[in-house]
Amino acid sequence: MEVRTRFAPSPTGYMHIGNLRTALYAYLHARKNNGKFILRIEDTDQARLVEDSVKVIYDSLSVTGLEHDEGPDKGGPVGPYVQSQRLPIYRQYADRLLAEGHAYRCFCEKHEKQEDPGEETDAPILGYDGRCGRLSEAEVKANLAKGMPYVVRQRIDREGKTIFRDFVYGEIEVDHKQLDDQILLKRDGYPTYNFANVVDDHLMGITHVMRGCEYISSTPKYILLYKALGWEVPEHIHLPHILGQNGKKLSKREGSVALGDFLNKGYLPEAILNYIALLGWNPGTEQEFFTKADLIEKFDIARIGKAPAMFDEVKLQWLNAQHIKGLKPEAAHELFLKFYPEKIVHGFDVRKLTGYIQGKVEKLSDIPAMVSFLAGLNERYPAELFVHAKNKTTLEGSKAVLTDLEAVLSALPSWDYAAILGTVKTYAEAKGAKLGPVMWPLRIAISGQAVTPTGAVEIAELLGKPETLCRITLAIGKL
């Protein structure tokens, strides 16, 4: 049997990091098993549609490399892949359920809304009492003759229970008394999510349904629909919650939750995928760094856990740094160029700069601040920076070192890394000093800051001889 998974987002805004994890797991399981990964757009909740959200979905899958095999843009044997284009299909199966007694028309004047499984609980349903399910055939015909609007509700027998096996959470048993007669088809002819996803998953041959654990409480109703229609129930894989640092479900109130937010902050798509793969899945080893190819090879749905995963941006940042370090030099340079300030691009050897700082960059968006001192020195930096306990440097000692370095560096006939380093080393040896106490005042003098993305020699080479000597002169005057 061919494995077929799907990602079925609603075009209602940004790409939530939790939705992206669902897409990733579905993609990995399909690729691991040489199956198909399908994209389906679930736009039945017309009131919540956001303009350009479909483009956000396509862009998100494209930038992360989660290529789908079938979808609205690619076609396929079981289209259309947009739910609003499948309305006659849902009507067909709603009519079948009505004819076979598994559904009924509800004429009650109640506020309709897309039912949100996240709002459901295990407590007995105290809402709709199913009164229209007890109407006689004559009463139904009379209401229809009057042109009364109606919704179609699932008819659930309150006797008995549904038992199903979830791949992650194991066997789950739900008493039917806890289930409501959910709406399948709304007055406007659009299906609810709860109906459309069952019909589409079956007709599209989905073998493994992956979604968040908030849908567990609705799954018994889905299974009853499968059985009522005589369809095979697919494998259900409910994924654990992703929590924010406050211990609650990750939400925009707690900070960034959208893929676009993290891309704008300078995270690589590869690092984001690597990190969210670990939010619920355990590879069974100490390995934390994964390429997409690694994930396809190692991913196993049997290692998805039940426990909620805590989103830790510090860990994401660390992984991002590892992925940046792992880039080939040319690839890193192409990315860095987009973040270098114009003064840096036109005034320095940026290819050499990329080579020097690649191992220190944690987020691409950090680059402008990291290299700004090259384009312009903050001359008001405090002299106290020259004092460093570990290197045992003082204000007086730093002034002496810089005065000597100014003389020896001025005499250099060529200005490159090897020549600068050799000169500084020779000077340190002649003074019987370690390299640290010499390099520290030099780095402070030419950068004006205690933390730099590369060393003093690299900075001097990038600045060039005139600017380096000018900054040393300034520092001597400050001391």
Q: Which residues are catalytic?
A: 252
Report the Cα 246 to chain-centroid distance in Å: 19
Q: Are 241 and 308 in contact (CB under 8 A)?
A: yes
Beta-sheet pairing, 235-239 with 208-212: parallel
Separation in Å, CA 24 to CA 29, 35, 223, 478: 9, 14, 25, 56
Q: Are 62 and 20 in contact (CB under 8 A)?
A: no
Q: Which residues contact 334 (CB under 8 A, 6 or more apart)?
A: none
Structure tokens at 163: 């038992």
Of the candidates 100, 109, 112, 23, the residue with the CA atom closest to the CA atom of residue 60: 23
Q: How many CB atoms lie within 10 A of CB 10?
A: 19
